[in-house]
């Protein structure tokens, strides 16, 4: 085949390097209604040679068990679309409540159907690992969820051997506006209920809640470790990818170079 070139065009030699993900490539599955996760993830996953690749999946804005359960079949499609035919080290599924409703292992099975044997995490997986790593036996749970989702989240922690001291909720059931719950509302809930001696740590559940830049403030005033869905999952994904960067500005969790398991 003749190589046809425009007049005046010069072809120069080039070399390929290892690209943005020379150290680690992390896939991130995000819901279509999500507004916070990618923004906060970009603040944490900034290490040279580490890249995140995102795929989105359709979802109803109503955060109930029926709509969350309906996400399961589409997880495979979303995982398949993340830089096809390129190496990934980890895939993170970015919805706390869906991970609880569907079940972690079912989420992992769907991802591994198209990415065999890959390391996986979800916000609830990561939060459990984070609490274990911090040595927290009892947690205060703060959520935007309706009762049925809160009960499932509480049951998950208790099945993992982590007691739930209390559940505090905003009772907000629309994922498309959860990201607008403001800073004062979040801090007020943490300060009002997180200083109780019956709890070892505070978990603010939901990837849509804007928590990453509030963690240090909340820890200073409560004297307790504070983790969020996004901070826990970013930490766990990095550790699964063998990236041990310590980022204490996001709380004591990031002083730990690896998860407990």
* Strands of 34-110, DSSP E: 50-57, 90-94
pTM of the prediction?
Answer: 0.93
Asked whether the predicted pLDDT for residue 89 surpasses 90, the reply is yes
What would the mean pLDDT of 39-43 be, rounded to a whole number? 96
Residue 64, pLDDT score: 82
**Residue 76: its H or E element:** helix 74-80
Pairwise CA distance, residues 94 & 112, whole Å: 16
CATH top-level class of 24-123+232-255: alpha beta
Asked whether the predicted pLDDT for residue 261 surpasses 60, the reply is no
Which of 33, 3, 35 lies closest to 98 in space, CA to CA?
33
Pairwise CA distance, residues 94 & 78, whole Å: 11
The correct answer on CATH 3.30.420.40 for the domain covering 125-228 is no
CA atoms within 13 A on the CB side of 66: 2
Would you kindly state where each structural domain of the chain is located, as residue ranges? Answer: 24-123+232-255, 125-228
Residue 259, pLDDT score: 62
Q: Are both 24-123+232-255 and 125-228 of the same fold?
A: yes
| pLDDT (tens digit per residue) in 218-259 | 999 999 999 999 999 999 999 999 999 889 889 899 988 666
**What CA–CA distances, in Å, run from 210 to 49, 91, 178, 187?**
26, 22, 9, 11
Average pLDDT, rounded, for the chain? 93
Cα-Cα-Cα-Cα dihedral sign, residues 193, 124, 73, 69: negative
């Amino acid at each position: 085949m003749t190589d046809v070139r425009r007049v005046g065009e010069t072809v120069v030699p080039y070399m390929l390097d290892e690209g943005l993900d020379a150290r680690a490539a992390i896939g991130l599955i995000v819901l279509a209604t999500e507004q916070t996760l990618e923004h906060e993830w970009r603040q944490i996953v900034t290490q040279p040679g580490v890249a995140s690749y995102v795929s989105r999946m359709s979802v109803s804005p109503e955060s109930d068990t029926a709509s969350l359960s309906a996400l399961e079949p589409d997880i495979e499609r979303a995982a398949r679309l993340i830089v096809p035919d390129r190496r990934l080290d980890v895939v993170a599924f970015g919805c706390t409540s869906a991970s609880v409703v569907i079940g972690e292992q079912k989420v992992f099975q769907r991802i591994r159907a198209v990415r065999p044997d890959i390391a996986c995490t979800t916000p609830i997986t990561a939060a459990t690992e984070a609490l274990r790593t911090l040595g927290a036996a009892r947690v205060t749970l703060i959520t935007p969820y309706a009762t049925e989702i809160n009960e499932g989240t509480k049951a998950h922690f208790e099945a993992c051997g982590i007691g739930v001291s209390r559940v505090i909720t905003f009772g907000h059931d629309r994922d498309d506006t959860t990201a607008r719950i403001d800073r004062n509302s979040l801090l007020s809930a943490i300060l009002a209920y997180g200083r109780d001696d019956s709890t070892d740590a505070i978990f603010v559940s939901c990837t849509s809640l804007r928590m990453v830049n509030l963690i240090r403030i909340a820890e200073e005033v409560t004297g307790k470790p504070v983790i969020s869905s996004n901070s826990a999952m970013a930490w766990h994904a990095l550790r699964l990818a063998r990236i041990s960067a310590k980022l204490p500005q996001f709380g004591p969790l990031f002083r730990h170079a690896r998860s407990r398991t």
